[in-house]
Structure 1
Amino acid sequence: MYLVQRRGELRVPCQRTKGHNIGKKLEADSKRLERISNQGPTQINQQAFSEKDHEDISPALSREENSMLNPIFDGQLENVIYERASEPAFIGEASCAAFHNRILQCLDDSYPLATVAFSNYYRVPRYQQLSLDPRTDFPESTHARLLLNVARRFIGSYPLPLLEASFMREVDVVYRKEVMPSDLWLCKFYSLLCLGEIYTNRRGVGDNRVPGTDYYFKAVNVFREAFEEPSLLQVEVLILLAWSSNILGRVMTAFSYIGNAMKIATSMGLHRSASKLITLSPAERECRRRTWWVLYFLERVSASKLGQPITIRDKDIDVELPSMDGLTEEEKTDFLDPIPMVANVKLGRIIGNILTDIYGIPERTNGLYIHRVYTIFKKLRAWHDELEPTVRLREQNTPRPVLSLHLAYNECIIQTTRPIHLHLFKAQFRPNCNSTTPRAQRSNTLSPITLALADSCVHAAQASSRIAEGLFLDGSLATFGYWDAHHFFSAALILVISLALKPDAATSDALNVLLAVLQSMKKDGNVPSVDYCERLSHLQERVAILRNKCQLEGSLVTTNTSSDSPQAAESAGSQQDNPANRAQSFQTGTNLHNDQGIQSTPEKSIVSGSVDIFDNPIIGNFLDDNQAPWPDMFTGIWDLDESRLED
Structure 2
Amino acid sequence: YIDDLIEENKRLKGLLDDTTNPNASSLSALSVSTAPSPRRDLDVLDSPDVARNNTSNIMLEVRPWFVPSTDQQTPILIGEVPDASFSTRFRQAISAPHEQPYKHIPRTAFATDERIACLTESECAWPSPSRARFLVEVALRYVSRCYHIVRRSVVMDALEHSIHNPAWGESLIRCKLWGLFAIGELYSARSIAPGKDFPGLPYFAKASRMLSVLSERPTIDAIEIIHLLSFYSLALNRRYTSYILAGMAVRMAVLIGLHLNIPAAQLPDAAVREHRNRLWATTCIFDRMWASKLGQPAAIGDRDIMVDPPSNASVDAAVAGDFGDCAYYIASSRLASITSTMVRCIYNTRDQSTTLSSRVQQTLKDLREWVQELPSHLHLDAAPHSEAAYKPTPLHLSFNQSAILATRPILLHVLKTHAAAWPAPAGAMPVPASAMTIVAACVRCARHSLHLLTECWIDGSFATFDYFYTSYLFSALTVLAVSSLLDGPDAAADREQFDSASGLLAQLADGGNFAAKEDMKHVDAMKAAVTAAASKKRGVVGLEATTGLGDFAGVMSPAAWASSTTTAVQGMATAGMALTEPSLQELLAEPFLDMQFIDASVYDDYSQGLYWPDFSTENWTPETWVPGS
- Shorter chain as denominator, the TM-score bin is 0.7 to 0.9
Question: 2:434 maps to which residue?
Answer: 449
What amino acid sits opposite 2:412 in the alignment?
L
Q: Tell whether the 8 Å contact from 1:89 to 1:115 is kept in structure 2 after alignment.
A: no
What amino acid sits opposite 1:125 in the alignment?
A
How does 1:356-375 map onto structure 2 within 5 Å?
356-360=344-348, 362-375=349-362
Residues of 2 paired with 1:420 and 1:294: CA distance? 31
How does 1:50-69 map onto structure 2 within 5 Å?
none
Question: 1:21 maps to which residue?
Answer: none
Question: 1:267 maps to which residue?
Answer: 255
Q: Tell whether the 8 Å contact from 1:421 to 1:457 is kept in structure 2 after alignment.
A: yes
Task: Give the C-alpha shift of residue 555 in structure 1.
Answer: 8.9
Residues of 2 paired with 1:46 and 1:35: CA distance? 19
Q: Tell whether the 8 Å contact from 1:157 to 1:340 is kept in structure 2 after alignment.
A: no
Root-mean-square deviation (CA), in Å? 3.7
Task: Give the C-alpha shift of residue 498 in structure 1.
Answer: 1.3
Task: Give the C-alpha shift of residue 509 in structure 1.
Answer: 3.5
Residues of 1 paired with 2:440 and 2:71: CA distance? 37
How does 1:126-275 map onto structure 2 within 5 Å?
126=118, 129-132=121-124, 137-177=125-165, 180-207=168-195, 209-275=197-263
Question: 1:380 maps to which residue?
Answer: 367
Task: Give the C-alpha shift of residue 227 in structure 1.
Answer: 4.0
Question: 1:13 maps to which residue?
Answer: none
Match of 2:537 among 539, 550, 564: 550
318-327 vs 177-186, which deviates more?
177-186
Q: Over residues 154-183 of structure 1, what are the superposed CA-to-partner deviations in whole Å (9 max), with x where a residue is unaligned?
A: 111211412111210111112221863222
**1:428 matched to 2:418:** yes
Q: Tell whether the 8 Å contact from 2:120 to 2:205 is kept in structure 1 after alignment.
A: no
Question: 2:495 maps to which residue?
Answer: 508
Match of 1:616 among 546, 571, 581: 581
What amino acid sits opposite 1:354 in the alignment?
M
Residues of 1 paired with 2:252 and 2:180: CA distance? 21
Residues of 2 paired with 1:277 and 1:66: CA distance? 59
Q: Tell whether the 8 Å contact from 1:518 to 1:533 is kept in structure 2 after alignment.
A: yes
Residues of 2 paired with 1:216 and 1:538: CA distance? 33
Q: Tell whether the 8 Å contact from 1:563 to 1:569 is kept in structure 2 after alignment.
A: no
Residues of 1 paired with 2:304 and 2:34: CA distance? 31
Task: Give the C-alpha shift of residue 642 in structure 1.
Answer: 5.0
What amino acid sits opposite 2:479 in the alignment?
I
How does 1:555-594 map onto structure 2 within 5 Å?
558=550, 559=552, 562-563=556-557, 568-569=562-563
Question: 1:410 maps to which residue?
Answer: 400
Could you tell me the percent identity over the aligned residues?
A: 23
2:146 is paired with a residue of what secondary structure? coil
Does the C-alpha gap of structure 1 residues 84 and 616 become closer, same or farther in structure 2, counting only changes over 3 Å? farther
Task: Give the C-alpha shift of residue 205 in structure 1.
Answer: 2.5
Residues of 1 paired with 2:299 and 2:600: CA distance? 32
Q: Over residues 612-646 of structure 1, what are the superposed CA-to-partner deviations in whole Å (9 max), with x where a residue is unaligned?
A: 122222210122355xx555xx3233202559x99
How does 1:277-316 map onto structure 2 within 5 Å?
278-316=266-304
How does 1:3-22 map onto structure 2 within 5 Å?
none
Question: 1:345 maps to which residue?
Answer: 333
Question: 2:7 maps to which residue?
Answer: none
Match of 1:531 among 514, 518, 537: 518
Residues of 2 paired with 1:199 and 1:562: CA distance? 46
Residues of 2 paired with 1:67 and 1:216: CA distance? 60
**1:472 matched to 2:437:** no
Q: Tell whether the 8 Å contact from 2:66 to 2:75 is kept in structure 1 after alignment.
A: no
Q: Tell whether the 8 Å contact from 1:373 to 1:417 is kept in structure 2 after alignment.
A: yes
What amino acid sits opposite 2:537 in the alignment?
C
Does the C-alpha gap of structure 1 residues 296 and 440 become closer, same or farther in structure 2, counting only changes over 3 Å? farther
319-328 vs 634-643, which deviates more?
634-643
Task: Give the C-alpha shift of residue 197 in structure 1.
Answer: 1.2
Q: Tell whether the 8 Å contact from 2:108 to 2:518 is kept in structure 1 after alignment.
A: no
Match of 1:636 among 592, 597, 605: 597
What amino acid sits opposite 2:283 in the alignment?
L
2:206 is paired with a residue of what secondary structure? helix
289-298 vs 250-259, which deviates more?
250-259
244-253 vs 409-418, which deviates more?
244-253
TM-score computed with the length of structure 2 as normaliser: 0.79
Task: Give the C-alpha shift of residue 525 in structure 1.
Answer: 1.1
Residues of 1 paired with 2:353 and 2:230: CA distance? 35
Does the C-alpha gap of structure 1 residues 120 and 331 become closer, same or farther in structure 2, counting only changes over 3 Å? closer
What amino acid sits opposite 1:99 in the alignment?
F
Does the C-alpha gap of structure 1 residues 251 and 188 become closer, same or farther in structure 2, counting only changes over 3 Å? same
499-508 vs 408-417, which deviates more?
499-508
Does the C-alpha gap of structure 1 residues 475 and 609 become closer, same or farther in structure 2, counting only changes over 3 Å? farther
159-168 vs 634-643, which deviates more?
634-643
Q: Tell whether the 8 Å contact from 1:464 to 1:609 is kept in structure 2 after alignment.
A: no
Task: Give the C-alpha shift of residue 120 in structure 1.
Answer: 5.6
**1:95 matched to 2:82:** yes
164-173 vs 202-211, which deviates more?
202-211
Task: Give the C-alpha shift of residue 85 in structure 1.
Answer: 4.5
Residues of 2 paired with 1:274 and 1:36: CA distance? 64
Residues of 2 paired with 1:74 and 1:635: CA distance? 21
Does the C-alpha gap of structure 1 residues 612 and 531 become closer, same or farther in structure 2, counting only changes over 3 Å? same
Q: Tell whether the 8 Å contact from 1:95 to 1:116 is kept in structure 2 after alignment.
A: no
Q: Tell whether the 8 Å contact from 1:466 to 1:606 is kept in structure 2 after alignment.
A: no
Residues of 2 paired with 1:564 and 1:293: CA distance? 46
Task: Give the C-alpha shift of residue 438 in structure 1.
Answer: 6.5
In structure 1, stretches of 5+ residues that fail to align are: 1-33, 48-60, 574-603
Residues of 2 paired with 1:635 and 1:74: CA distance? 21
2:322 is paired with a residue of what secondary structure? coil
Residues of 2 paired with 1:76 and 1:454: CA distance? 27
Question: 2:615 maps to which residue?
Answer: none
Residues of 2 paired with 1:354 and 1:167: CA distance? 36
